[in-house]
């Protein structure tokens, strides 16, 4: 028997405050306690980087404050004042003193950067006396009063929640009175007046004088930071980003340094490498004699930081830091390298130069383009500055798509500015240029004539698939990023812009108008799927270098630096990834491209597009709708021949890699013509009366086709269909193997709801296989499995696994039914759900209902829960059951991570997302 | 520490065979071992009822046989022969002996009666020698050879699987040769020839002589019974009925008794009480000098068993058993009473009288109508012949609906035989007569003029609701028992026939045709929703007595015996039931009816029908589609007034009982007109251009409206809607309370998918409540809860429960999404799924994919699993959370049982199903 637990000793006095800076020992690094910002400042200080000294009030102080009815916790006040004294001693200046005053900034700093919380109060310590001392100490009266008026406004706004607008209005009046336009042109007297007016507003609004006691100012700001943790905006942000309420925020109090003390002072921002291209060259901007605010506010145009950059951006005439302050510039470059090495990543820096002395105010990993991400990771890996796993983590999978998309030449885009007609959502990255077509028929027809077309539709439907296949790109006036056009285009790696609401599409007249311009069908149009821009003119595009090397094979690997860097990251991905990546491919071309991108098999080969092929459609319709048995049998046998050839070509492309074929899925009515004219034609072909055919069509129309007569429901009610498809698959496999091509085919049954459906189809497949093997005298190995894409299938997976040799999650359908949301109809409410609707509690705030589009990002709580259940139950019946995912989500990084976490064997995605999925899978394995 | 388990002693020799009959001691009753039939024979024998003696081969013998590659288990043969010797000794006759032979029957007998298994071989023991002995012993050569030829055919058919057709053909030839029509007219020589011909067929088909050895015959039959357990038909039956494979079947070998030995012999069947009315009077039929087969075969018309029955069925001239054999008749009555008392239920009997001696061949609980079920249970309870719980279990809940439905007079139906035009599915029990109308508009118009109408449609849609409300009954040519018409009609307790495929509806011409007749709109039509019959004429109907007493109050309880019996069962139900029963009611009339039927509250008050009311529709449309803010506000305030009145009336009807109101659910497009004409009219009303309105309508159309912009998605995107409804509800409640009416209102949010939706709506409801309470200066208690009708809501119930004070399962929608099946489109595949599709393993057999329609019977494996998850997770967050069900399933007995098993607090169903649900809930509690 263990001893009873000992009562904890009386809590030792909590240390709420930690100093940092050159002359004090920094606390042990602890992002959770010190916040991200504070932690990095301590870290920089420790490794000898010059940072303005200061102190940090911990997240624990914040939580104790919040937990005690907004009382500063015991000891905090005393510790903070002690830390302030230490800081004053370091700086040789006293906070807000009449002579040589110290000013400080007060900032919030949670574990992660959190917009929606109080950010910064600058120039704290200004008061009626210290402003005079500041003017004297800096020899700059303008600086002093400008600092004071800024401080009054910031304090009133940020700490006391007075409306900022009141100050801005008053300031505008003062400028008007002097007849000046810009803030910087206001006279010192004007600034002095501003201070008085601002203090007046403060009193008017709050009923008390502006606080003159610097320590009171400081604790006011500290309390404001603490309180901002519980502001509505911060709460919403946390909820959306799943940040726990009990993290709390730290407060950073740091001595001000002034970049506006004269010509040897400056302020700037920069990246240790080029964040656009990834090139190893410092990239940044700066302003002489300015405060940080000024760079951001865009009042003065910042200057390029070095000569290289000045050249590249066509600003060769402008002074650069490299030229103006060569020593400080070199110190900045060295500091950047030190930080880059320390953090093992390209850094985004903020710095201030005060009287020729460099101070770093902030460092963090820099944001970058996809191109830059790959370049930096590959280069730093080569340099030994990054470990393999760090390099892998350093590229966001989504960024890879930028390396694969075709591109417009930026110069050509700039030159065509006048022809920029509209902007929509950038739904499928890449650039496309071609002739405007407004219908799928015309798209197919013109493409057959060798013309490049861009398909523009009010909105696309499944009927438009053939048009999308042949088009260079797709543009729709309606629909969001979950629309049919967007999803299908992304799947095909096709540039796509959707929801371009200013676009007016008049299909009848064959005209498209926007931005006061209009063009006719057949005229040139260009769309940039990476930016959403639409141009009413032709713009030259080219495939990305990676595609040129891998898919088109028009460029040699050794001639493409981009490809080589891409390849080095992909190599790493395959070294670390444990989950396989397959592709969704319906054609040999898709299969080849995917294989070039590293797919380890086909996870989903849909057969419906094979059916929709115009040369076969007549036979497809004969099979489904003909009442003449002989004609029907003939049609089926012709279709089998077609399908056999399709499958053989795919098997050949995948030689030996597994190919999962899904049996026919869409509802019958998709195969019957919509127009009366076509119906009449079909009536002639089938020898069925027009009226009868029309009645057939009416009979096939469904109230909710997504939940209708489709998937295995077809294969069960029309067993000939399954038989035909299975024969075609297996005969193709047998013929391929005879030619020495290895075949590993898996047949999967779509839209299974009850295990009896699967039992039926599996039995029919096996019986058909036996027949084919008897007829041909040969056999081939094959597997039978099922899609799991209905909630019920997941819930009864233990029974499904009795008949299935593998599972494949169809998360598109599964999301639709789990949510009860049709993807086709969702935009009307999903858009406000994502963007936020007025919060009933405070209608001026937006409340978001969903944090992500569940059709893009797998919903782990709901859909994911069903997947977990299915994996667990399925493998209980059949240990080691092979399970994959083949919905759109298979190519979305967070979803890939989830798939790994629940033990899937593979993800499958569209060919152009294979590299991305490989990277995501590797990251999931780390 | 417990002792290690002792090894079981070597198995003692298994007893596979048990004898029964007057002179032997019956085995202990054990239905599992002896089978249902065998067990009852032993039981009758034990309590002194005369049964022909025999023996039983146990189910264990069957299983050991099946487990050892179809070898008779060791000891069985020996034990069976010993039992046969015992039987021979009892009977003083030897099986198949040349002199005074014993004949036996061999039957299968599983735990439960199982059609699809081998049933019976009679006259076993007949051979070339014994037939002569039998003729001598009975003095009836005809009997002997008739027995033999029957036996050869039965043995060949049932035991050896020779096609029965072959024998029937041959027998027909023999009759032809003699020029006779009926079997009984064939001469003795003809029968002798038949025996020879049959034996010839036997040899021809099987390549061996018909077995002459009686013991070989017996074991042949025993093996056949064993094998029949694994026949395809039996397997299918077991699968469909969830009967385990390892139950096995017993075999009953019983000495034959002959009802065809002359005028003091007879055979018959009977019920101990009238199975139609339930009256306590023996009810049956018999034939003098006949075998059991003859009663069934309909070759001779059986006679009424007693004078009462002869009178009642207009057969007063015919001899009755009561008159022909008064003593045996009395013995039969006494035996019936004994058995009834023993089993505590009305019995269905088979008996044979051999030379004036009565033998009981079978007894089992008798099938009965709903009327009889209630009468018998109520009477036997009163008599003390049934316990309270037995009486409760004795009525099947579904049977109660027969007591509530209006009825046609049977005589009137018989008389109108010529006008019987068609037969469809009996989708809503009850009788309806009225003028034929083919559109909802006309139905509403004619009903307003005081005409009774029957609405006939090709198929109904939600638009037809107003027409269905005013019609006496509904008939559709399309749709199954899950169609819109069927579901809505049942919900309203309205007679309904659907899927009447021979019906031709020509709405344009205003004509309906079927069965070679046709009628025009405005002519009389009658439908019987209990049988599916359609008459092209008027037939008189009347409401059931129960409805007359409870709802219409046109009859006093003391004047209706039917009502009194019904009431006594209902009283019992409420005594034993632990789960509450509420009702789905949208109008005060519904609420009153449901309360009369014993509803303990409203579980679902839908508000959409209130919106569809023609007098309000203009305002509803203004609210949704008007662009003029003032007109919109006015419309909303008028609607609020209407809704307030609706709710007040419902609160008044339910005075004090809980009322759960569901906020508006259906998609917006249901509120916009479909026809151009109406659209033009609306355009005038709203002052919006026709084109704009048309565009609005196009914009509202959805690909899959079931998964579209509806439910709380409306309340979130149009918060004014929720505010208006909540104000109306709460203001009505406050006004009612001021009048002394007690109100317990619960507001529920429909179609919630994520907890954030619920959080939004709950917050909006509470905020609106606060406003109403401030405005009125009064408060009222209310609860906020949610529908659980999306898989995701169930899966995340722990989060839902944070915002919900109660859950209500909407199993209609939940079934649709869990199955991925739209109820509106399901018929095309659900019908074959239920009826069976060709089994790929053996295409001549049917394989059923679903054993029940999941929209009628709750799917416990899938939908039920989600419910279990939701109950568990919901109560984990909020212990004691109140949970109910309000889908169609709430009134379906097996679903009610399931709801009790997972711990629901209540079920809610349509008013006319409340009694049924009360009974089901009581049974679930037992
Ligand atoms: Mg799917
Ligand atoms: Mg619902």
Q: What is the pLDDT of residues B782-800, one digit of tens each?
A: 999 999 999 999 999 999 9
Tokens at B553, concatenated: 């109050």
Tokens at B733, concatenated: 């409640």
Pairing of strands A906-909, A407-408: unpaired
- Residues with Cβ within 8 Å of A224's Cβ and at least 6 positions away in sequence, in order, are A118, A121, A158, A159, A160
CA distance linking residue A473 with residue A484, whole number of Å: 14
Q: What is the pLDDT of residue B692?
A: 86
- Is the Cβ–Cβ distance between A779 and A740 less than 8 Å? no
- In chain B, what are the helix, strand and coil shares in percent, each to the nearest 5? 50, 15, 35
Interface of A with B in 793-852 (CB under 8 A): 795-796, 799, 813, 816-822, 824-825, 828-829, 832-833, 837-841, 847-850
B664 CA to chain A: closest CA distance, Å? 16
CA angle (A565 as vertex; A563, A571 as ends), nearest 5: 95
Output the CA B835–ligand 1 centroid distance in Å: 26
CA distance linking residue A134 with residue A124, whole number of Å: 12
Query: How would you label B40-77 residue by residue, b for 16+ Cβ within 10 Å and e otherwise?
Result: bbbbbbeeebbbbbbbbbbbbbbbbbbeeeeebbeebe
Question: Averaged in consecutive runs of 10 residues, what is the pLDDT profile of chain A (926 residues)?
Answer: 45 85 89 93 93 96 93 94 95 94 94 77 95 91 92 93 91 93 86 96 95 96 93 77 87 93 89 88 89 61 87 80 96 96 92 94 84 92 93 90 82 89 80 93 89 92 81 85 66 78 90 94 92 92 89 92 94 96 94 95 92 85 85 91 95 96 90 86 85 84 91 95 97 97 97 97 97 97 98 98 98 96 87 89 85 92 98 97 93 95 96 94 94
Strands (E), B619-698: 658-662
Q: What is the pLDDT of residue A243?
A: 85
Q: In which residue are the tokens 């969704």 written?
A: A584
| Residue B98: CB atoms within 10 Å | 15
- Is the Cβ–Cβ distance between B878 and B803 less than 8 Å? no
Using DSSP's 3-state secondary structure scheme, residue A763 falls into helix
CA distance linking residue A540 with residue A407, whole number of Å: 9
The string of DSSP letters for B415-477 reads HTGGGEEEE-EEEE-SEEEEEEE-SHHHHHHHHHTT--EEEEESS--GGGHHHHHHSSEEEES
B698 CA to chain A: closest CA distance, Å? 12
CA distance linking residue A807 with residue A660, whole number of Å: 11
CA distance linking residue B24 with residue B180, whole number of Å: 46
- Residues with Cβ within 8 Å of A567's Cβ and at least 6 positions away in sequence, in order, are A557
Using DSSP's 3-state secondary structure scheme, residue A128 falls into coil
- Is the Cβ–Cβ distance between A275 and A336 less than 8 Å? no
Among A551-560, A693-702, B355-364, B547-556, whose mean pLDDT is lowest?
A693-702
CA angle (A766 as vertex; A764, A772 as ends), nearest 5: 100
B262 and chain A in contact, CB less than 8 A: no
CA angle (A582 as vertex; A578, A583 as ends), nearest 5: 155
- Is the Cβ–Cβ distance between A234 and A243 less than 8 Å? no
B708 CA to chain A: closest CA distance, Å? 6
User: Which of the two residues, B481 and A601, has the higher pLDDT score?
Assistant: A601
B-chain CB neighbours of A754 within 8 Å are 849-850, 862
Interface ipTM > 0.90:
no
Query: B276 pLDDT band (50/70/90 cuts)?
Result: confident
Pairing of strands B266-271, B347-354: antiparallel
Q: Do B791 and A818 touch (CB under 8 A)?
A: yes
Length of chain B in terms of residues written: 926
| Residue A720: CB atoms within 10 Å | 12
CA distance linking residue A840 with residue B716, whole number of Å: 10
CA distance linking residue A774 with residue A768, whole number of Å: 10
Angstrom CA distances, B265 to B92, B298, B354, stand at 20, 18, 5
User: Among residues B86, B110, B103, B121, which one has the least CA distance to residue B38?
Assistant: B110
Backbone φ and ψ for A382, nearest 5 degrees, come out as: -60, -45
CA distance linking residue B394 with residue B723, whole number of Å: 49
Helix runs in B179-270, H state only: 188-206, 214-228, 232-241
Mean pLDDT, all residues of chain B: 90
Ligand lying nearest the CA atom of residue B787: 2
Pairing of strands A283-288, A453-457: unpaired
Q: What is the pLDDT of residue B483?
A: 61
Using DSSP's 3-state secondary structure scheme, residue A385 falls into coil
Which chain A residue shows the shortest CA-CA distance from B720?
A840
The pLDDT tens digits of the residues spanning B726-741 come to 999 999 999 999 999 9
Q: Do A829 and B751 touch (CB under 8 A)?
A: no
- Residues with Cβ within 8 Å of A386's Cβ and at least 6 positions away in sequence, in order, are A344, A345, A377, A380, A394
The pLDDT tens digits of the residues spanning B851-894 come to 889 998 999 999 999 999 999 999 999 999 999 999 889 999 99
- Residues with Cβ within 8 Å of A760's Cβ and at least 6 positions away in sequence, in order, are A712, A716, B837, B839, B840, B847, B849
- Is the Cβ–Cβ distance between B725 and B607 less than 8 Å? yes
Instruction: Indicate the DSSP class of residue A435.
Output: E
Angstrom CA distances, A408 to A375, A497, A529, A675, stand at 20, 15, 10, 39
Identify the active-site residue in A42, A62, A736, A886. A886
Output the CA A616–ligand 1 centroid distance in Å: 23
User: Among residues A840, A135, A825, which one has the least CA distance to residue B699?
Assistant: A825
- Is the Cβ–Cβ distance between A663 and A712 less than 8 Å? yes
CA distance linking residue A43 with residue A22, whole number of Å: 11
pLDDT of B570 higher than 70 = yes
Q: What is the pLDDT of residue A8?
A: 44
Q: What is the pLDDT of residue A681?
A: 86
Backbone φ and ψ for A726, nearest 5 degrees, come out as: -65, -40
A462 and chain B in contact, CB less than 8 A: no
- The catalytic site residues of B sit at 484, 886
Tokens at A584, concatenated: 């969704």
Among A914-918, B491-495, B612-616, whose mean pLDDT is lowest?
B491-495
Per-residue pLDDT, averaged over B393-410, amounts to 85
Tokens at A671, concatenated: 């195969």
Maximum separation of any 2 CA atoms in chain B, in Å: 106
Between A76-91 and A214-228, two packed helices, what is the crossing angle to 10 degrees? 120
User: Among residues B249, B7, B283, which one has the least CA distance to residue B120?
Assistant: B249
pLDDT of B435 higher than 90 = yes
Q: What is the pLDDT of residue B1?
A: 43
Q: Do B704 and A705 touch (CB under 8 A)?
A: yes
CA B274 to chain centre: 21
Q: Which helix (H) or strand (E) holds A740?
A: none
pLDDT of B106 higher than 50 = yes
A-chain CB neighbours of B757 within 8 Å are 849
Nearest Cβ partner for B760 among A708, A709, A849:
A849
User: Among residues A222, A94, A207, which one has the least CA distance to residue A155?
Assistant: A222
Pairing of strands A517-520, A511-514: antiparallel
Q: What is the pLDDT of residue B323?
A: 95
A-chain CB neighbours of B663 within 8 Å are none
Between A863-877 and A811-819, two packed helices, what is the crossing angle to 10 degrees? 120
Interface of B with A in 714-733 (CB under 8 A): 716-717, 719
User: What percent of chain B stands above pLDDT 70?
Assistant: 96
pTM attached to this predicted model: 0.79
Q: What is the pLDDT of residue B401?
A: 81
B327 CA to chain A: closest CA distance, Å? 57
Strands (E), A429-545: 431-437, 453-457, 473-476, 496-498, 504-506, 511-514, 517-520, 524-528, 533-535, 541-542
Q: Which helix (H) or strand (E) holds A94?
A: strand A94-95
Provide the Cα torsion B337, B339, B344, B349; round to 10°.
-100
A861 and chain B in contact, CB less than 8 A: yes
CA distance linking residue B273 with residue B349, whole number of Å: 11
Asked whether the CA dihedral B223, B227, B233, B235 is positive or negative, the reply is positive
Per-residue pLDDT, averaged over B697-710, amounts to 88
Tokens at B852, concatenated: 């029940």
| Residue A242: CB atoms within 10 Å | 7
Q: What is the pLDDT of residue A347?
A: 94
**β-bridge partners, B513:** B504, B518
């Amino acid at each position: 028997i263990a001893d009873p637990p000992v009562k904890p000793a009386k809590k030792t006095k909590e240390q709420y405050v930690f100093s940092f800076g050159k002359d004090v020992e920094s606390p042990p690094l602890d992002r959770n306690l010190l916040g991200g910002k504070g932690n990095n400042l301590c870290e920089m200080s420790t490794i000898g980087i010059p940072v303005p000294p200061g102190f940090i009030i911990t997240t624990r102080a914040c939580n104790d404050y919040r937990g005690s009815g907004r009382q500063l916790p015991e000891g905090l006040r005393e510790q903070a004042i002690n830390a302030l004294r230490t800081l004053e001693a370091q700086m040789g200046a006293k906070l807000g003193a009449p002579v040589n005053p110290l000013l400080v900034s007060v900032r919030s700093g949670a574990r992660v950067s959190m917009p929606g919380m109080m950010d910064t109060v600058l120039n704290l310590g200004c008061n009626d006396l210290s402003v005079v001392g500041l003017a004297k100490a800096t020899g700059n009266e303008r600086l002093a009063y400008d600092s004071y008026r800024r401080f009054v406004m910031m304090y009133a706004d940020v700490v006391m929640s007075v409306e900022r607008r009141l100050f801005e209005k008053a300031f505008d009046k003062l400028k008007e009175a002097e007849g000046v336009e810009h803030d910087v042109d206001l006279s010192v007297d004007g600034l002095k007046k501003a201070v008085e007016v601002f203090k007046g507003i403060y009193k008017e609004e709050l009923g008390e004088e502006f606080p003159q006691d610097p320590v009171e100012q400081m604790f006011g700001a500290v309390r404001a930071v603490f309180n901002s943790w519980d502001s509505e905006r911060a709460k919403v942000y946390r909820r959306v980003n799943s940040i726990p309420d009990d993290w709390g925020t730290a407060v950073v109090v740091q001595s001000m340094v002034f970049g506006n003390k004269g010509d040897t002072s400056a302020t700037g921002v920069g990246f240790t490498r080029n964040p656009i291209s990834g090139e190893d060259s410092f990239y940044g901007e700066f302003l002489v004699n300015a405060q940080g605010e000024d760079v951001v506010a865009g009042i003065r145009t910042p200057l390029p930081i070095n000569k290289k950059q000045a050249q590249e951006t066509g600003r060769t005439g402008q002074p650069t830091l490299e030229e103006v302050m060569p020593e400080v510039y070199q110190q900045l470059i060295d500091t950047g390298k030190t930080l880059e090495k320390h953090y093992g990543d390209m850094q985004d820096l903020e710095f201030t130069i005060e009287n020729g002395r460099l101070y770093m105010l902030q460092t963090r990993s820099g944001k970058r383009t996809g191109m830059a991400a790959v370049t930096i990771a590959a280069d730093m890996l080569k340099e030994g500055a990054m470990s393999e796993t760090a390099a892998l983590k350093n590229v966001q999978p989504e960024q890879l798509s930028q390396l694969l998309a075709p591109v417009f030449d930026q110069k050509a885009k700039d030159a065509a500015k006048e022809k920029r007609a509209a902007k929509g959502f950038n739904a499928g990255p890449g650039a496309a240029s071609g002739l405007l077509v407004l219908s799928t028929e015309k798209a197919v027809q013109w493409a057959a004539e060798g013309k490049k077309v861009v398909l523009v539709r009010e909105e696309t439907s499944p009927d438009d698939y053939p048009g999308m296949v042949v088009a260079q790109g797709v543009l729709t006036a309606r629909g969001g990023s979950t629309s049919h056009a967007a999803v299908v285009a992304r799947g095909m790696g096709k540039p796509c812009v959707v929801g371009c609401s200013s676009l007016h599409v008049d299909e009848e007249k064959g005209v498209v108008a926007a931005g006061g311009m209009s063009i006719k069908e057949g005229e040139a149009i260009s769309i940039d799927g990476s930016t959403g821009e639409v141009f009413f003119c032709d713009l030259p595009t080219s495939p990305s270098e990676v595609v040129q090397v891998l898919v088109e094979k028009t460029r040699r690997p050794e001639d493409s630096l981009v490809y080589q860097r891409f390849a080095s990251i992909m190599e790493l991905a395959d070294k670390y990834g444990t989950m396989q990546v397959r592709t969704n491919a319906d054609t040999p071309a898709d299969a080849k491209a995917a294989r070039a991108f590293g797919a380890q098999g086909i996870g989903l080969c849909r057969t419906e597009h094979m059916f929709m092929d115009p040369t076969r459609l007549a036979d497809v319709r004969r099979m489904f709708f003909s009442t003449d048995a002989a004609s029907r049998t003939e049609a089926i046998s012709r279709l089998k021949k077609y399908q056999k050839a399709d499958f053989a070509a795919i098997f050949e492309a995948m030689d030996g890699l597994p190919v999962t074929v899904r049996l026919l899925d869409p509802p019958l009515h998709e195969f019957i013509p919509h127009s009366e004219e076509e119906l009449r034609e079909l009536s002639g072909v089938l020898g069925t009366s027009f009226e009868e055919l029309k009645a057939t069509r009416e009979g096939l129309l469904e109230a909710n086709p997504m939940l209708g007569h489709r998937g295995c429901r077809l294969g069960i009610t029309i067993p000939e269909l399954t038989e035909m498809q299975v024969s075609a698959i297996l005969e193709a496999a047998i013929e391929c193997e005879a030619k020495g091509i290895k075949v590993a085919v898996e047949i999967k049954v779509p839209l299974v709801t009850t295990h009896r459906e699967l039992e039926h189809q599996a039995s029919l497949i096996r019986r058909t296989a036996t027949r084919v093997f008897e007829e041909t005298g040969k056999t081939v190995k094959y597997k039978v499995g099922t899609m799991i894409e209905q909630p019920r299938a997941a819930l009864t997976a233990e029974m499904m696994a009795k008949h299935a040799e593998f599972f494949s999650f169809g998360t598109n359908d599964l999301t639709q039914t789990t949510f009860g949301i049709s993807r086709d109809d969702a935009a009307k409410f999903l858009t406000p759900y994502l963007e936020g609707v007025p919060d009933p509690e405070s209608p001026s705030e937006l409340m978001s209902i969903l944090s992500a589009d569940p059709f893009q990002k797998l919903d782990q709580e709901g859909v994911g829960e069903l997947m977990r259940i299915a994996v667990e139950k399925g493998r209980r019946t059949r240990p080691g059951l092979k399970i994959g995912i083949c919905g759109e989500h298979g190519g979305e990084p967070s979803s890939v991570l989830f798939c790994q976490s629940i033990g899937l064997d593979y993800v499958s995605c569209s060919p152009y997302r294979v590299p991305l999925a490989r990277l995501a899978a590797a990251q999931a394995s780390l």
